[in-house]
Amino acid sequence: MDSQIYGATILLLLLFLTSPITALPKNPTPNSAQINSNSVLVALLDSHYTELSELVEKALLLQTLEQAVANHNITIFAPKNEALERAMDPEFKRFLLEPGNLKSLQKLLLFHIIPGRVGSNHWPKDSSETSLHNTLCKDTHEQLTLHHAKSGVKSVGLANVVRPDDVVRADGLIHGIERLLVPRSVQEDFNSRRSLRSISAVLPEGAPEVDPRTHRLKKPASPVPVGSAPVLPIFAALAPGPSLAPAPAPGPGGPHHHFDGHSQVKDFIQTLLHYGGYNEMADILVNLTSLATEMGKLVSEGYVLTVLAPNDEAMAKLTTDQLSEPGAPEQIMYYHLIPEYQTEESMYNSVRRFGKVRYDTLRLPHKVVAEEADGSVKFGQGDGAAYLFDPDIYTDGRISVQGIDGVLLPAEETTPAAKVSPVAKVAAKPRRETDQHSSLIILTGKLLEVTCRMLGALGQESRLTSCH
């Protein structure tokens, strides 16, 4: 009780300090003192969500929120402290705290609040349903999606709810969530802000010249220093796959396994799982053991890879048709693997300097086109385009993982002529939400088992609550 009174005092003090003109002296009617010590706002400032409270204060949002609770209930999704401390990209945090970016900070925080009362009992009951809610963030039309996984885990957007109904008051409630919810418009503010900074040139790495007939270097190579890139193109080292070009030559000259590619691949799959919002992609990589093994082998041999990882929302849009054909998931995945080491910065710099950039993929002969759009990197074109969404999720110098918000399909296959193709994009006939979800559920169900087995083997099954 003491702490509540203390919180109320702080709140009143802050309101007084931040709004000296409209505060107490001018309008001492009960209307201006609507905040009582039982308000969810006071509870927030008093709660263990200290990082969020601090940001709300820094964003000068107390008055706005006070008005909001005067009119209606509010539901606050409060990221746990850790999500706003260590887990947060320091550059993004710096960006948010710059005085010139106050608007972005406000948008970000208001995006965590629904103008209404949504208790844990209001989540969709069935895992095939989602419900959409507007937020207090007026500058974005983006809504928050509530979902209830079969495992019982509730989520909002990409964040799992870790403490449902953590704080319940008469005028609103607080759910604890595991990560920050970043609306697209704030991500874009951040990206375009960053692009204004001096752009350091990326030295394009010249590929060694290889005779296509013999798969040998045209010029005698100088002795390969330990740890340097292999001299043959990655395609020569790729295992022959169902539709990959035949791999005519054995792997690059001599085994020089300086890298433990397999554990690096395991590592980045773990990172994807831990990052959150990329479980589908991680699951597929775990399930397609041959793909993960192949990637591990390539990295062991000194090749580098950039993985464009579609997030869960993007994967949810894939249809059963697109996944059920034998080999289809592999084909989709291979198209998301670029045999180069690219980071957000290097890709962004390239598209800024060269306009359109075409990257090879491991799905021969298809390339993926990248260009600058809205201060970010856009892959693919038209309906099938995807934006760089979570940059540099994993970068270890050999494998780079970049989160994107769409599943990419080769351009040829998005044409109507390619309807028979197993991975053709079903753009013409929009499917019902439930169809998409049931396909996702079928996929997830199948994949989860394997994931749990693998994590079990690593002694980490507790990472995935759905394993129990």
- Alpha helical stretches, state H, 318-402: 320-324, 328-334, 344-354
Three-class secondary structure of residue 252 per DSSP: coil
- What is the nearest approach in angstroms of ligand NAG to the Cβ of residue 14? 22
The whole-angstrom separation of Cα 280 and Cα 303 is: 25
> What residues numbered 207-266 form the site for ligand NAG, per CB under 6 A?
none
Least distance between ligand NAG and beta carbon 284 (Å): 6
Structure-block tokens of residue 95: 């960006």
419: closest CA among 282, 325, 343? 325
- Closest approach of ligand NAG to the CB of residue 341, in Å: 27
Report CA 30 to chain centroid distance, whole Å. Answer: 46
Q: Are 388 and 190 in contact (CB under 8 A)?
A: no
Selected from 46, 142, 166, 171, the binder of ligand NAG by CB under 6 A is 171
Q: What minimum distance in Å lies between the beta carbon of 328 and ligand NAG?
A: 8
* CB closer to ligand NAG out of 321 and 396: 321
Binding window for ligand NAG (CB under 6 A); candidates: 158-166, 338-346, 429-437, 444-452: 444-452
Report the distance separating Cα 307 and Cα 277, nearest Å. Answer: 15
122 touches ligand NAG (CB under 6 A): no
| CA-closest candidate to residue 7, choices 69, 68, 59, 49 | 49
- How many positions of this chain bind ligand NAG (CB under 6 A)? 13
Q: How far is the CB of 326 from ligand NAG (least distance, A)?
A: 8
The strand pair at 159-169 and 210-211 is best described as unpaired
Q: Which residues contact 413 (CB under 8 A, 6 or more apart)?
A: 421, 423, 424, 425
Pick from 39, 53, 73, 400: which binds ligand NAG (CB under 6 A)?
73
Stretch that binds ligand NAG, among 256-264, 311-319, 432-440, 441-449 (CB under 6 A): 441-449
**Among positions 58, 117, 317, 366, the unique one binding ligand NAG when judged by CB under 6 A:** 117
Q: Which helix (H) or strand (E) holds 55?
A: helix 50-58
Among positions 103, 419, 446, 453, the unique one binding ligand NAG when judged by CB under 6 A: 446
Stretch that binds ligand NAG, among 87-95, 207-215, 339-347, 446-454 (CB under 6 A): 446-454
Please say which residue, 44 or 347, places its beta carbon nearer to ligand NAG: 44
Q: Which residues of 6-29 are buried (b: 16+ CB within 10 A; e: fewer)?
A: ebbeebbebbeeeeeeebeeeeee
In 196-339, where does DSSP find H-type helix? 234-237, 261-275, 279-287, 289-300, 312-316, 320-324, 328-334
In this structure, what token pair is assigned to residue 29?
Answer: 């009617």
Q: How far is the CB of 327 from ligand NAG (least distance, A)?
A: 9
Q: Round the CA-based radius of gyration of the chain to a whole number and report it.
A: 25
The answer to whether 8 and 37 are in contact (CB under 8 A) is yes
- Amino acid letter for position 41: L
The residue range among 50-58, 265-273, 281-289, 457-465 that interacts with ligand NAG, by the rule CB under 6 A, is 281-289
Which of 52, 174, 177, 323 contacts ligand NAG by CB under 6 A? 323
Binding-site string for ligand NAG from residue 283 to residue 322, where x marks contact by CB under 6 A and - marks none: -x--xx----------------------------------
Give the residue, chosen from 16, 22, 36, 72, that forms a contact with ligand NAG under the rule CB under 6 A. Answer: 72
* Shortest Å distance, C-beta 172 to ligand NAG: 7
For binding to ligand NAG (CB under 6 A), which residues are involved?
Answer: 72-73, 117, 171, 284, 287-288, 323, 329, 443, 446-447, 450
